Each structure stands twice: as structure tokens, then as C-alpha cells.
Structure 1
Amino acid sequence: MINAYAAFEAKGQLKEYSYEPGSLNHHDVEIEVDYCGICHSDISMLNNEWGMSQYPLVAGHEVVGRVSAIGEHVTSVSVGDLVGLGWHSDYCHHCHSCNTGDENLCQQAMPTVMSKGGFADKVRANERAVVALPKHLNAQTAGPLFCGGITVFNPLVQFDVKPTDKVAVIGIGGLGHLALQFLNAWGCEVTAFTSSDAKAQEALKLGAHHTLNSRNQADIENAAERFDFIISTVNVKLDWNLYLSTLKPKGRLHFVGATLEPLDIGVFGLIAGQKQISGSPVGSPATIAQMLEFAAQHNIEPQVELFKMSEINQAIKHLESGKAHYRIVLERE
């Protein structure tokens, strides 16, 4: 029996919920959850904002814990190993993406939050989606790396961001505060776009070399053709043409924040500078493992606030209030 906290309707309070998971599949891993982060994507699923939630819904996809059982054909981990689990709990295993190391792009991939996730004492996933933690990584704070961390790390690998590049980050929050740390350790010259004086000071401590006021059009105009790469972590509409003007020729504006409104982009600015616009999701298991090693080597750590698992409803309210600093992690009692 697995004991969890589930939503039984959109925007409803999470309640205690127990379910029988059945026999462990041959290639599945059962993880005893020690910590689980709460992500805005969890809230979107709990509230059915994307129209695909099925209730009762057990969310939670930033899991860190010990392997408690393995299927008879599992070879990648052993019982007792400290591991993590992110947005995907399984893949189709036979499409082109799965066969070429891009499992995160598998169109049949199973989100962890749709297969009963980590707001529970245990969670199950295919071994391919489970990644071991490096020895020197802090298990208490590592959970958000499996979603927020890999979301901002993946573009560095996919688009061959170079240590000599000048890179800007839009938005210093749950994603942005990790992007600053990764980019600084990557060797880039890092600029933070932020509208808050307090966050500007913190951005410098997190790894930014410079800050720009995102509400000051003159500041942004003065940064014309400065950046090789801009990563946007926000989910609000901005003047994207203004930000594009700060890119060097052949520069890239990359989205990891889910901006819901259509992008209003003037095509001539793209053509004249041969500029690019792109987006990406979380990374493959191999890229997650690479990110974890990089984080361990460079002492990169999410800034988290801890709540007990039984305080899950209070923790969700705190995240929804916008006051979280910067990620929330639930600790199993």
C-alpha cells in the first residue's frame, strides 16, 4: 500500500489517499520518498489548468529518496541507492527520440504526475527515468534540480553555449536563480534581467556579473547587440522585440518559461541579424545525470524552504502566494 496526498477535484484541498500499486513491473523501481519539491507545474496539474488532469491526482515530480524495491530485470540501480525522479516516469522505449538519447522528447512519455507522483511515502517509475545522486549532492535540496535545474541546464548542452558567451537570464525566481548559478560555473559572463532592486542584489550573489532593470526601456536599449544567448524563465508577456534587439547577430532567445500568450515578433529583426528563437523542456536522463555531476562539482544548490509532507496544503498556498524563496521541498516525516 502507498500512502499519499491527492487532489480529488480541481483547486481542492489535498487529502490523505492510499492506493494499492499492484505488482512491481520487471523494469520498474520503487522509491521510498524522503523529499519532494513542489513545482508550479504540480499546481497546474492539481488545478487542471492544462485540461488533462484525472482525479484522484497525486502530484509531485521532484523526488529524492532511497530505492526500496526493484523489478527482476532492473540493472541500473540497487535497493538502498539514493536516487531522484523528475517530470517523466516512463518513456515508450522504441521511438526515434528514445533510441537516440532524447527520451525527454518522446511524445508518448509518461509524466510522473499522471502516474501517481511523489506527494507520497513511495513512488514507482521505470528504471530509465530514475537517476542516481552523486555522493556529494545534498539530498535535502536536490529535488528541484530534477525539474527546475534540468530545465535551465538542458539548453546549455543542446545549443552548445560556450564559456566565452555573454548570456542573460530573464526572471530571477525558481528557474532563474538556478540558471545564474549554472551559467556562472559554465564560465559565461552573466547578466540578470530583473524588476526588483532586492533581487538584483541577490542575483549578483547567485552568480550574475551584471544586472539590468527589465522595466527600464532605456537600460535595455543601451544593451543592444550585447548577448549571445538569452534564456527567459518568466511566464508573462514582455516586449520580446526589445529583448531581441539585445542579441548579437546569430544570437538566440530561448524560452523555458511557459509564456501562455502568443509571441509578438517582428520578423525583420530576426532576418537582419540571423537571430533564433527556441524553447525546450526538461532533459533526458543522461543530461540529468550530467547536470547532477556538474552541480556537485560546482556546489550548485537550489535555495529551498522546507515543509513537512503533512503541511502540503500550507506549502502549496505559500508557493501560490509568490513568496517562496525560491523552491519549496516537502520532507517526509
Structure 2
Amino acid sequence: MPTTVHAYAAPEAGAPFETFEYDLPDLGPHDVDIAVEHCGICHSDLSMQQNEWGLTAYPFVPGHEVAGRIKSVGEHVKHLKAGDRVGLGWHSAYCMTCDSCMGGHHNMCSDYEQTIVGRHGGFADLVRAKAEAVFKVPDELDLKETGPLLCGGITVFNPMVQFGVRPTDSVAVVGIGGLGHLALKFANAWGCHVTAFTSESKMQEAKDLGAHETIDSRDPNGVKSCEGRFDYIVSTVNVKLDWNAYIKALSARGRMHYVGAVMEPLDLEVFPLIFGQKQVSGSPVGSPSTINTMLRFAARHGIGATTEHFKMSDVNDAMEHLESGKARYRVVLDV
């Protein structure tokens, strides 16, 4: 029998969310249905609502930071069962046959499905995904704070694993928001010396979140004073900055890494890269294996997102709060 989902959808680009119902077909053998309890709001949800990337199909149901419990599983699903506490992030399925999947890099899959692209997401009472993209949440983690780990959290955790950030490294985080505040928490627990580049108004908050020191990102001399200091800098912002100043702030063989989606081209001087053997890179969310590693690490160190909560029915107020830039630091909808 078809399953009716009760959701909130934007009927067109930039339009307010309205109640929306749709039917899911019979559960497939590798599918799971998640009863949504909490769903984080990512800036990507806002970008998709407004069709900034040209990917959105309407009516549009966002939500890819889902935390809830398994309602039902397909006949071939063995590692999950009804009642399990689980999370779902940006990906809802992988092809499981390409070289990337077979090599354990599912996040590089050539034919993955995205939870809110071409399908309906977690601003709803139920969301469906393939079992391989759904993750058990350790008992030590509060389900209310876990959804944002499945997108924002793994986005900043993944490059620490992929590029071998060491506990002895000096790490800087540019921008302390939905991504940056989690980067501070993870880097601190990883054992790094952590510096936050942020506005003066957030400096004490950044220290409370795990920064050992702060630098005013709006002071041109602040970045220049750091020449040669950092082994790893992660940028979480989506605006253009003086990237050459940050490159100069790297130590020899240091890495400048981007997880914030800056739309303008990077204007970089080549000689500091060549003579310092420095690296510039970017990355998306992580593979299932890395996501599970992150969840275990977060459970061990008591790491969750710092959140503000709204009722699912107040979704328009929540989206407005996010768009205003006032969120501290991740907005979560509660069913």
C-alpha cells in the first residue's frame, strides 16, 4: 500500500512553505522509512528553495539533516530495524557498483542520489532512503543535536580525515557559523591548536566552542600578522576574501581547504604556492565509513551541534531566522 507523507513544501522559487502531502510507493527491498523527529536546516536548503543552483524541482521539500527512528525496512535490509535511532544526510542512495563506491569513496559516486535534489527531503513526518545512506546514531548523542552532524558536521570532519590533519597541527577556521562552529569543536577534540578567524562580536563564543585564540577577520592586519603560522586552514564562508593573505598564513606544505561555496573564482598568486609547496583543495560530505567514524568520535567527545529549535509548523519563521544571519549556530525543526 502507498504511504502518505505529510510535509512542508515551497510551491515555487522563494515562495513561503505550505503544507503538502504526497504518496510513496511500496517499500523497496533495500529501502528504509525514517519517522522524522528533528531536521536541521542547512544554508543549502535555503539556496535550493530559491533555486540559486538551478537544480530545484517544485514543489520543493527541503531537509537533509534528518534525525529520527526507523519506521520500516525493506526485506533485504539486515543492519537496521524498526525503532533504531538513525540519521540521514545529503546523500540518500549510492550506485554501489562504480569504482568510487567499490573503493569506499561513496561520496564520490558517479550516480548518487541527493536527499533534496529530484526527490523530497526531511521537512516532513517521514523520509525514505536506501539503507546504505542511513546511519545508526550512538546512544551517547542527543538526537535533537545530531541532524546537523550529518551535513555540517561531516563536511568539516571529512577533510581532517582525508588529508591527515594531525593532533600537533596548528589549525585555523575561517567563519564561525553553522559549519565553522562544528569545525572548532572537532579540531579542538582532535588535539589541534585552534584559531578562529571571526568578527569581534563572536570572539568569546568562538573560544567557548573550542578556539584557543581568535583573530578579527575584518582587520586586514590580523591575517597578515599570521604569516607562516598554520598547517591547515579551513574556510567555511561563502563570500570572497583576500585569499592570498590566508595562503601566506600557511606554513610550508600547509593546506588551504574550502568547504564554503564561494561562487567567485579564486584569485591566487602562484609563487607562494610553489615556494612553500602549499596546497589548495575542497571537499564535499564524507563516505558512509567516514560518517560512522565521525559519529563515534562525536559520541566519545560529547560533540553535537549548537542549535536553536523551531516547531516544524513554524518552518517559515525558522528559514527567515537562518536567512537573517542570526542563527546560533544551527537551526533545527522539531516534529
TM-score, structure 1 as length reference: 0.98
Gaps of 5+ in 1: none
In 2, distance between residues paired with 1:33 and 1:311? 16
AA in 2 matched with 1:118: G
Whether 1:57 aligns to 2:60 is yes
- Which residue is equivalent to 1:225? 228
In 2, distance between residues paired with 1:213 and 1:7? 38
Give the share of equivalent positions with the same residue, in percent: 58
In 1, distance between residues paired with 2:189 and 2:248? 26
Whether 1:45 aligns to 2:69 is no
AA in 1 matched with 2:189: A
In 2, distance between residues paired with 1:155 and 1:283? 8
- Which residue is equivalent to 1:315? 318
How far 1:219 moved relative to its partner? Answer: 2.2
In 2, distance between residues paired with 1:197 and 1:49? 30
Whether 1:193 aligns to 2:197 is yes
AA in 2 matched with 1:130: V
What SS class does the counterpart of residue 58 from structure 1 fall into? coil
What SS class does the counterpart of residue 113 from structure 1 fall into? coil
- Which residue is equivalent to 2:253? 250
In 1, distance between residues paired with 2:93 and 2:287? 11
How far 1:7 moved relative to its partner? Answer: 1.2
In 1, distance between residues paired with 2:123 and 2:217? 36
Whether 1:127 aligns to 2:127 is no
2:268 to 260, 265, 269: 265
Whether 1:72 aligns to 2:75 is yes
How far 1:153 moved relative to its partner? Answer: 0.4
Whether 1:302 aligns to 2:302 is no
Correspondences of 1:1-333 after superposition (within 5 Å): 1-114=4-117, 115-194=119-198, 196-332=199-335
Gaps of 5+ in 2: none
How far 1:217 moved relative to its partner? Answer: 2.1
How far 1:107 moved relative to its partner? Answer: 2.6
In 2, distance between residues paired with 1:318 and 1:289? 30
What SS class does the counterpart of residue 65 from structure 1 fall into? strand
AA in 2 matched with 1:72: E
In 2, distance between residues paired with 1:100 and 1:58? 32
Which whole-Å deviations, capped at 9, do the CAs of 1:199-242 have from their partners, x for residues lacking one?
Answer: 11111111111111112222222211000000000000001000
- Number of residue equivalences: 331
What SS class does the counterpart of residue 251 from structure 1 fall into? strand
AA in 2 matched with 1:318: H
How far 1:198 moved relative to its partner? Answer: 2.4
